[in-house]
Amino acid sequence: MARARLSDVAAHAGVSTATVSMVLNGVNTTRISPQTQQRVREAAEAVGYKPNSVARSLRTQQTRMVGLISDTIASTPFAGRMLAGANDVAREQGHLVILVDTERDAGAERQALHALSGQQVDAMIYACMWHRVVEVPEGLPEDAVLLDCAPAAGGRAAVVPDERAGGMAAVRELVAAGHRRIAFLDAEERFDLVASRLRYEGYLRILADAGIEPDPALHARAEPVASGGREAARRLLDLPSERRPTAMFCFNDRMAMGAYAAAHHCGLSIPRDLSIVGYDDQQLIAAELDPPLTTIALPHYEMGRWAMEVALGLRRADPAVPHLMPCPIIRRASVGPPPVQFGD
């Protein structure tokens, strides 16, 4: 049996399609008699009417769909939270999201833009799976919003994590616990991570506020993975005891995981002998380390929501400067006071 159309409902109720359309959409509803409305509703129910959004979209020129172009859904476990945030507000607003993954390929990007604009999406979001500065693809609509990336040229609504404040929060936590020799296990420069620069700024800023002279030896760089963290931490732990850090702020949770390993290797206990703060609040990891890791959360869900809210016009954004989303500290059990030492 073919799907029931508006005209079928109209026939069944003995009214015109216009009337049916109005009552079913609750439009101009005051001017239609209650009996008729009732009859229409019953008829719709009876024939099992479901509106055809394609036809409606063609007529109204709006599809209630938003396109979400992302560079790579697959490569990071964080992606999901961003999608979830975006999806939730879309649903709250009765919108659907079309997801396109371009895998960072310019051709695919062009094609995606084409497909989405052909699909007449009402709004568009361009998302990166980690904080980047991007050359906005040609053809991206003026009012598209950037998610987890900032436009190289500026002039676009965008949201990124407030990495600097996150770095500050991490180091502030350590300073508050009484630490003075605080290392930063950073990503190597060749990775060219904007997060790295910003978190480092936050680190320096809090040291300065606390009147602590930064020790260049405590700014260790490595590949931002567990093994890198392990090696960097090992080097730091090999320092003569008066220069050895009592706390480490790690660029990410994976490096922190490596730092845990190095500490254990040296027979150090966390947080008794060494305090550690990570970054990312990586799912299924940070909370499961032993002891559970104190870390700074990346606000992926919130950024996803924010982007969708401005995309749908629920919120205004200043296109001059990316919106900075706070990165909350997640306190667990890897921070304690520094160990008591001679000379303290």
Partner DNA sequence: ATGAAAGCGCTAACAC
Partner DNA sequence: GTGTTAGCGCTTTCAT
**Residues interacting with DNA, by CB under 7 A?**
2-3, 5-7, 14-19, 21-22, 24-25, 27-28, 30-33, 35-36, 49, 51-52, 55-56, 58-61
Q: Does the footprint of a copy of itself cover residue 325 (CB under 8 A)? A: no
Q: Does 93 bind a copy of itself (CB under 8 A)?
A: no
Dist. CA 322–CA 160, nearest whole Å? 7
Among 6, 9, 65, 298, binds a copy of itself (CB under 8 A): 65
Q: Which does 301 bind (CB under 5 to 8 A by kind): DNA, a copy of itself, none?
A: a copy of itself
User: How many Å apart are CA 266 and CA 250, to the nearest integer?
Assistant: 18
* Listed residue (178, 222, 175) closest to 202, CA to CA: 175
Is position 91 an interface residue for a copy of itself (rule: CB under 8 A)?
A: yes
**Residue 124 or 285 having the CB closest to a copy of itself:** 285
The answer to the question of residue 119 lying near a copy of itself (CB under 8 A) is: yes
User: What is the number of other CB atoms lying within 10 angstroms of the CB of residue 308?
Assistant: 29
**Stretch of 37-45, 163-171, 186-194, 283-291 lying at the interface with a copy of itself (CB under 8 A):** 283-291
Nearer to DNA (CB atom), residue 22 or residue 165: 22
Residue 11 binding target from DNA, a copy of itself, none, CB below 5 to 8 Å by type: none
- Does position 226 interact with a copy of itself (CB under 8 A)? The reply is yes
133 binds a copy of itself (CB under 8 A): no
Q: Are 69 and 125 in contact (CB under 8 A)?
A: yes
Residue 58 interacting with a copy of itself (CB under 8 A): yes
Q: Which residue has the tokens 């436009």?
A: 151
Helix runs in the chain, H state only: 6-13, 17-25, 34-47, 53-60, 79-92, 106-118, 163-176, 194-209, 226-237, 253-265, 300-311
Contact call for residue 289 and a copy of itself (CB under 8 A): yes
Closest CA to 83 of 299, 339, 300: 300
In a 10 Å sphere around its CB, with 0-12 CB exposed, 13-18 middle and 19+ buried, how is residue 294 labelled?
Answer: buried
Helix 226-237 vs helix 253-265: angle between axes, to the nearest 10 degrees? 50
Pick one of 5, 36, 88, 201: the residue that binds a copy of itself (CB under 8 A): 88
Residues interacting with a copy of itself, by CB under 8 A?
50-55, 57-58, 63, 65, 72-81, 83-84, 87-88, 91, 96-101, 108, 111, 114-120, 225-227, 230, 254, 257-258, 261, 264, 282-285, 288-290, 301
